[in-house]
Every structure is written in C-alpha cells, then in structure tokens.
Amino acid sequence: MLYQLYETQRSFMEPFAELAQAASKLYSNPLNPASQTPLAQRVSAGYALMHRLGKDYVKPEFGIRTVKVDGVDVAIHERVEIDKAFCELRRFKRFSDDPATLQKLKEQPPVLIVAPLSGHYATLLRDTARTMLQDHKVYITDWKNARLVPLSDGEFHLDDYVNYVQEFIRHIQSIYGNCHVMSVCQPTVPVLAAVSLMASRGEKVPLTMTMMGGPIDARKSPTAVNNLAIHKSFEWFENNVIYRVPPNFPGSGRRVYPGFLQHTGFVAMNPDRHATSHYDYFKDLIKGDGASAEAHRKFYDEYNAVLDMDADYYLETIKTVFQEFKLVHGTWDVRGEDGQVERVRPQDIKAAALLTVEGELDDISGSGQTRAAQDLCTSIPKNDRQHLEVEGAGHYGIFSGRRWREVVYPKVTAFILQHAQQQAAAKPVTSVTRSANTPKSAPKAAPKVASRPAAKPAPRKATSAKSAVKTQWVKAKA
C-alpha cells in the first residue's frame, strides 16, 4: 500500500516539478523583461531548486565516450555481452586507429568490475570504470531495477547473485584465458563466495581479487548501517520494508525493497550535509556559478537515482551477511544452478592474489571489515596478499574522485599488472618443462601429446615495489 501511495504522490507532483523548471527558465531568460528585476535571479534559483527536489530521477547512462591511453584518445563502445533476468554484463569496448595504441590495448588485462546491488545503479562506478579503461579491458555488472522484471522471470536470491558472478567470470576467461575481478562495497561478499566455490571445484579462478570497502566481517567497527541490521530482527525487515510493485510497472506484484525507501535511508544518514548542499546550489545559481551548480546536478542525478531490490535477495543478504555472519563462521551454503548445495570455503583459494582496500573514514563499511578477507583466505601465499588503507578517504573516496585516481588506482593497476605479468612469464616455463619431461624412449615421429605428464604451474615470485600509499602486507596464518 505504501508503494502505491508513493507512486500516486510522485505522479501528482511531476507536473508541478516541470512547471517549476519552466518558471525557472522564464525568470532567467534575458529576453524576458521580468528577468531584469532585482529579485529575478532569486526567483529563478528557487524554482530551479523546487524542480530538483520534486522531479523523478531515472537511471543515468555511463556516458563514457572516450578515454586517453598514453595521451591518445580512444573511442569507447558500450555493449551488452550477457543479458540475464536481473543483470546485464556490459563491456566497454575500446577502438583506436593508431597501430601502436591498438597493440597496447590488446595486451592489457581484462577486469570484471562487480558493481553493488544495494540501492544505486552501476553508474555510481562511472569514475571507477573510466579510470580503469586507461590500462584494462573493462566489464561491469549492470543490475536491473527489480520493478521492471516480470514475475514470469522468477525470483532472485543471494545464491543467484553468486551464480551470476561465476558465469560472468567463466565468460571472460573463455575469451582471454584469464581475468581479474574487482568488487566494490556489497559484492565483496558474494564475489568471495563465487571464487571460493570455483576454487573448491578445482576450476580456474581469477588471477587477482580486489575488494574495496565491503562487509566481509560486519562485526568489526560496526557502522550505523551494520547496527540497524544487527539490532532489528529479520521479521522486522520483512514486515516493514518489503512491498509489492504497483500495477503500472512490468514487475507488478513482485516483492521488493523499494528504491524510495532506500533513498530515504541514505539521506537520513547525513541530513545536514544534504540540506547544506542544496542551499549551496541555490546560492550558486544566484551568483551565476554555473560550474558549481552543474557539479551539484551531476552528483544528485546519480545519487537520487535508485532501484528496487528483489525481496528474497535483500532479506537473505541481511540474514547471511549482517545477522548470522555465515561467511566468517564458515556456515554459508550456496545452491548452484544445477541444484547442488556447496559450502563456501575461502581457505580453498590458492591461485588468486588478494588486495583489500579500506577508507580511513568509511562510515558504511567500518575499519577492518574488508581486511577480514585476508584472515579467511589463508591458503593464498603471503606475497600475493596486500592491504591498503586510504588515509582521509570515506566510503565513496576509495572508488571515485581524487583519492581514487591518485592514491588507490595506481596501487590497484600495479597489483593487477604484477600478477598478469607473472602469469604471462609462466607460460614459456610450462612449455619447457613439458619438453623436458618427455621420455627419452618416446618415438621421434609424431609423439602423442596426451601421453605426456602434466606439468605443475610455475610458482609465483614475490616482487616488491615502492609505493607512496600506506600499504600493509598480511602474513598467512598457519
């Protein structure tokens, strides 16, 4: 019922928001005599703010048209590689007519960025993707708004999220032979589960895992988000935040955690900051500071665009991650696409290197929550595990903005490149080993490859590099 009331109110306010925008343009138009009156700028700014507060915010586009690679502009074509019921795997394909640049693009490693499904669209990682495109082939998970998914497409559970990630990893591996995976915030948990299950089955795993600002162990340094999930019962969430999609959407009847409720929670965490930001926008319009006003619009176009989450997925995340802490307790079982139930065992991961990143001032995933992955992945060699704490950075600062570009990204790309080069260097070693293991008595003419014993992969060599950021090496536990 609440969802229907919200939609009714939104539909009622929409024409008034459009009228406010028209009035703002009218009072700022130099051809209108009224715009020359003393209060015209204030009236125009007031109407513009009213429009921003009352308008409906739709999903933004990534809008990445070009990036610079070594000073050369490279065109970007965004396309959907895999279209699932609740998610699209998008690829940012790069094009260049410069032979040297094209060759470099082909040699760069592929990276899967797993975007969070926690209220905002994947476009929240626009800056992350744009920066990564300078040195990597980039894929990203683009989660769909659950209210647009028909009931006929079935339910969506946390297990399905894990299965999606595994499918996407296998898809990229089938193209390039290997890949790297980066997870930001919420997906650190299902991504670690996905890689753990692949490792337990003996499948090829990503060369590296970069986990940024996620609740691997939500018991550590609990934030306001963690406390809400801990202090409220599972039944409270089911009875107070879950509603059915109204009839005017394709997903009519689907049980969801509505985006407008999530947005209310986001704003409630820092109400004073948002009020000040809107007042500053009003003053910038009066002063004629177009650059600051446009920056405000771009931020809130993204921040105010929210999506509905399927109720089963949301409630299972609350229970698994924030209430029962199944990952760290070793009690999490995931049902695969084949119906088989498997236990998540991060200690089975051996071949994937791990980098965890935390912000010193993160008020969503507290200090130590992401680094907890280091304690779970005990079979990864200590030289393949690193932790980075970004001084002065909040939650968004570790994947967007100046600190991301100047502090975090250089560390991430160096980590990925190091292990990509180790993998490339290991290939000729494997070839030589196989030749050496060929029996001397084997016939010289057309020996059978299948009869040769398989060689063990060459061990990775630890490398060290100077860094201007605060890096902590984590030792493996016995």
Residues 6+ apart with CB under 8 A from 280: 292, 296
And the tokens for 46? 């007031």
pLDDT at 367 over 60: yes
d(CA 193, CA 345): 8
For the range 463-471, what are the long-range contacts, defined as Cβ-Cβ under 8 Å and sequence gap of 24 or more? 463/383, 463/418, 465/414, 465/418, 467/410, 467/411, 467/414, 468/407, 469/388, 469/390, 469/407, 469/408, 469/410, 469/411, 470/388, 470/389, 470/390, 470/391, 471/386, 471/387, 471/388, 471/411
pLDDT digits (tens, 9 = 90+) for 133-170: 999 999 999 999 999 999 999 999 999 999 999 999 99
pLDDT at 191: 98
Taking 80 as the threshold, does the pLDDT of residue 396 lie above it?
Answer: yes
In this model, does residue 442 exceed pLDDT 80? no
Taking residues 172-184, report their average pLDDT.
Answer: 97
Bridge partner list, 140: 90, 113
Q: What average pLDDT does the segment 462-477 reach?
A: 39
What is the Cα–Cα distance from 145 to 168, expressed in whole angstroms? 19
Q: What is the pLDDT of residue 448?
A: 38
DSSP assigned state of 306: B
Q: What's the chain's average pLDDT?
A: 89
**Torsional sign, CA 172, 175, 179, 182:** negative
Position 452 scores a pLDDT of 37
Residue type, 57: Y
Find out whether 315 and 334 touch, Cβ atoms under 8 Å: no
pLDDT in tens, 268-301: 888 999 999 999 999 999 999 999 999 999 999 9
Q: Between helices 271-287 and 40-54, what is the axis angle to 10°?
A: 140
Tell me: pLDDT of 461 over 50.
Answer: no
Residue 83 pairs with which residues in a beta bridge?
A: 88
Q: For 431-452, what is the mean pLDDT?
A: 37
Residue of 202, 142, 208 lying closest to 179 (CA atoms): 208
Average pLDDT of span 86-93: 98
307-361 pLDDT, tens digit per residue, is 999 999 999 999 999 999 999 999 999 999 999 999 999 999 999 999 999 999 9
Question: Using 50, 70 and 90 to split pLDDT, how confident is the model at 13?
Answer: very high
Q: How far apart are CA 119 and CA 387, in angstroms?
A: 27
- The helix/strand/coil state of 141 is strand
Average pLDDT of 413-422? 93
Show the CA angle centred on residue 378, arms to residues 376 and 384, nearest 5°.
110
pLDDT exceeding 70 applies to what percent of the chain?
89
96-113: b or e for each residue (b if 16 or more CB lie within 10 Å)? beeeebeebbeebbbbbb
SS3 string, 320-383, reads HHHHCCHHHHCCCEEECCCCCEEECCHHHCCCCEEEEEEECCCCCCCCCCCCHHHHHCCCCCHH
Q: Does residue 477 register a pLDDT over 50?
A: no
pLDDT band at 424 (very low <50, low <70, confident <90, very high): confident
Q: Which residue from 79, 86, 50 is spatially nearest to 310, judged by alpha carbons? A: 86
- At 266, the pLDDT band (50, 70, 90 cuts) reads confident
User: Quick check: 188 pLDDT over 90?
Assistant: yes
pLDDT digit string, tens, across residues 43-85: 999 999 999 999 999 999 999 999 999 889 999 999 999 999 9
Mean pLDDT over residues 11-16, rounded?
92
Give the global pTM: 0.86
Is the pLDDT score of 465 beyond 80? no
Continuous H helices in 203-258? 224-231, 234-240
pLDDT at residue 307 in the model: 96
138, containing H or E segment: strand 137-143
Query: Which stretches of 404-443 are DSSP H helices?
Result: 409-436
Nearest to 156 by CA among 348, 291, 355, 311: 311
Which has more pLDDT, 279 or 437? 279
Q: What is the mean pLDDT of residues 386-400?
A: 95
Find how far residue 203's CA is from the centre of its chain. Answer: 24
What count of other Cβ atoms lies within 10 Å of the Cβ of residue 132?
22
